[in-house]
Amino acid sequence: MNLSTLTTEKSIHPALFTDQVTPAVRGILEKSLLGEELSVEEACVLFATQGEDAQAVLDTADKVREKRVGDTGTFVITRNINFTNVCYMGCRFCNFAKEKGDKEAEFLSVEQVADRAEEAWKRGATEVCIQGGLHPDIDANYYRELIIAVKKRVPEIHIHAFSPFEIWYGCKKAKLEPEVFLSELKALGLGSMPGTAAEILDTEVRKQLTKNKLTTEEWVRIIKAAHSVGVPTTSTIMYGHVDQPIHWANHLKLLRDIQKETGGFTEFVPLGFIHYETRLFNDNPDKVRPGPTRDEHFKMHAIARLMLQGYIDNIQASWVKMGPDVATQMLRSGANDLGGTLMNESISRAAGATHGQEVFPEDMVANIHAAGFNAIQRNTKYDTVKDYGKTAFQSNRIDIVGVA
Ligand code: SF4
């Protein structure tokens, strides 16, 4: 980004801050408008803002979004395929996992996954997002065969698959280093990986969320290994439980540091904690927050935009977690992407979210237009698939989301 453009732009928007904005907050936001990096301490100041100060944070994020990626909102036509809900990890924030033998336990064969991928392709999907639990019967070959089966059936579809935790599990089963295992998967057709299983990249917080799950160091190790062999990943945070703003600021800085080193993140996706039906909340309702507040959603997207600018410039608002209306509002508070249409999504619904089945492409376009942006269907790598322009687009659909 050209700093002089930003300076000029700032000078023609003198009304961005009102007189009520406190000098300390104003100083930090002016740094952001100049494209400068924010420190963890500065991010914490912004997370603590209220009233006019908080509004100025959102307005600044909106301005920085405009400078970085323009007035464009994007989405991807994708299908989520959760190939098994059997998982032995027992993460306390998750109510998706079942035990082997439960009547609701599911484990799709690789051919069933390929069937779903083919169905998605026929409905216009450019990507399938494939993730599952850590099923005790899975061996390293299952991950390999799954990619082979999907690619054989739908050679052109982009396979976005396997969380860093699943890769850790596959490596363990295959007795291979992550670079070797990931290179094999890439050669078979793995296009990219979701940067999920990050939750909060802080040891103390992670201990409260789960017992034996991937450590922060292991998450970083696998993400860097993926980037080193040319497998890009997304990056995520799960916030609004036992975490605090200092953890959010540190998490954002860690992602920024990784990106400086590897350049392998395609986007950042804030994922609000859905507390319903989770042991984490139900066992400790006095100590665990029931997900982020609406203000925290806004601040997370806005401050992520400011902390990550110039490094990760795609900030996704998750309609699955917040609902399409709130996600659309995030487009004017720092976000520029509404994520995927999904077709099926069972993880959030299992935790009690009321959103999470499907948003149709025409609704994505209508929502992006409602934010005043040019709407673009993108692929996984943010290349344009279809440009819908900026013209008001009236969706005929009224069933925007499937409600569980
Ligand atoms: S969050 Fe993932 S690893 Fe943890 S129990 Fe749920 S499916 Fe298993």
| CA-133 nearest atom, ligand 1 | 7
Whose Cα sits closest to atom 7 in ligand 1?
Answer: 133
* 154-192: pLDDT as tens digits: 999 999 999 999 999 999 999 999 999 999 999 999 999
Whose Cα sits closest to atom 3 in ligand 1?
Answer: 89
pLDDT of residue 353: 59
pLDDT of residue 15: 64
Cα 96 to middle of ligand 1, angstroms: 7
**Domains of the chain by range and CATH?**
3-69 (no CATH), 72-389 (3.20.20.70)
Cα 397 to middle of ligand 1, angstroms: 34
Pocket of ligand 1 (CB under 6 A): 87, 89-91, 94, 96-97, 133-134, 165
* 323-378: pLDDT as tens digits: 999 999 999 999 999 999 988 655 555 555 555 567 889 999 999 999 999 999 99
Cα 25 to middle of ligand 1, angstroms: 39
* Mean per-residue pLDDT, 224-253: 98
- By C-alpha distance, which of 75, 85, 77 is closest to 346? 85
pLDDT of residue 63: 96
